[in-house]
Structure 1
Amino acid sequence: MSRILAIDYGAKRCGLAETDDLQIVASRLGMVPAEELMDFLKGYIQKHKCETIVFGEPFRASGEHSDIWTEIEAFAKKVKERFPDINIAFVDERFSSKMAMESLIQAGVKKSKRREKGMLDAQSATIILQDYLNHRY
């Protein structure tokens, strides 16, 4: 099998998570600055067989897309053009940041570590990916 990659896309930084080759476990991968994301994807896809890239789809409490949605949608389109064999999926990311913070606290991650830029973004990507895995069939 191949891996699935998840992206919690942000204007400044993007959190990343990946599955194992059997697509069973979602793991925090890290964070990259938004302007370096395409270069990261090129390198990642050269190194690992990647079947699907999952993006968090941001909604407001009202159910409307948040402002960054147009950026995410445009970037996902560029990814599909660059890597036509890779599936693109979207997962509702409402409350993923809150759940990510709660999971870091429950895991015993120290407050100083939780404040590091990208830690929360990567954990949010992991939650987005696990949600995708739980609901894909």
Structure 2
Amino acid sequence: MRIMAFDYGTKRIGIAVTDPMQIIATGLDTVHPLKIIDYLKKYVLTNPVERFIVGEPKQMNNMPSQSAIHVKGFVNLLKKTFPDIPVQMLDERFTSKMASATIAQSGMNRKARQNKELVDTISAVILLQNWMEYK
């Protein structure tokens, strides 16, 4: 079964997923928040998911950031829609900066580096890799 991670944003959600053996984290997609549940319902029909990992937005002082309320609503929606799939929160501080740095180091052109969807997807991959190392 796969593990799926989300970098939640009010405009788009970056999604990453492991392979079935849970060895490699790969960027999957970026989806608008209003379409995420339909997307996930279709995905889990053909790809069993063992766990959802959701980035927990925190400030430097460890307090929840302004977007935490939106993430909490997303987590509640996941739990309600997929009650058999556990949801785990993981600190997401610096994932966007790390994603931007990764893109810059990859040699992509400037237009690709400014693609916010790519940043969100790579942020989800970093979050998932962090969880895999943590576990």
TM-score band, normalised by the shorter chain?
over 0.9
1:111 is aligned to 110
Whole-angstrom distance in 1 between the partners of 2:88 and 2:23 = 17
Whole-angstrom distance in 1 between the partners of 2:26 and 2:120 = 13
C-alpha displacement at 1:116, in angstroms? Answer: 2.0
2:5 is aligned to 6
C-alpha displacement at 1:117, in angstroms? Answer: 3.2
The runs of 5 or more residues in structure 1 that have no matched partner are none
Between 1:62-71 and 1:88-97, the stretch displaced more is 62-71
Task: Show structure 1 runs of 4+ deviating over 2 A.
Answer: none
C-alpha displacement at 1:74, in angstroms? Answer: 1.7
C-alpha displacement at 1:104, in angstroms? Answer: 1.2
- Match of 2:62, SS? coil
2:120 is aligned to 121
1:22-37 to structure 2, matched below 5 A, reads 22-37=21-36
1:81 is aligned to 80
Q: Sequence identity of aligned pairs in percent?
A: 37
Whole-angstrom distance in 2 between the partners of 1:42 and 1:10 = 19
2:100 is aligned to 101
C-alpha displacement at 1:27, in angstroms? Answer: 0.6
C-alpha displacement at 1:3, in angstroms? Answer: 0.5
1:80-114 Cα shifts (integer Å, max 9, x gaps): 12111111011100000010011112222222112
C-alpha displacement at 1:33, in angstroms? Answer: 0.9
The CA RMSD over aligned residues, in Å, is 1.0
- Match of 2:115, SS? coil
- Match of 1:94, SS? coil
The runs of 5 or more residues in structure 2 that have no matched partner are none
Whole-angstrom distance in 1 between the partners of 2:115 and 2:100 = 12
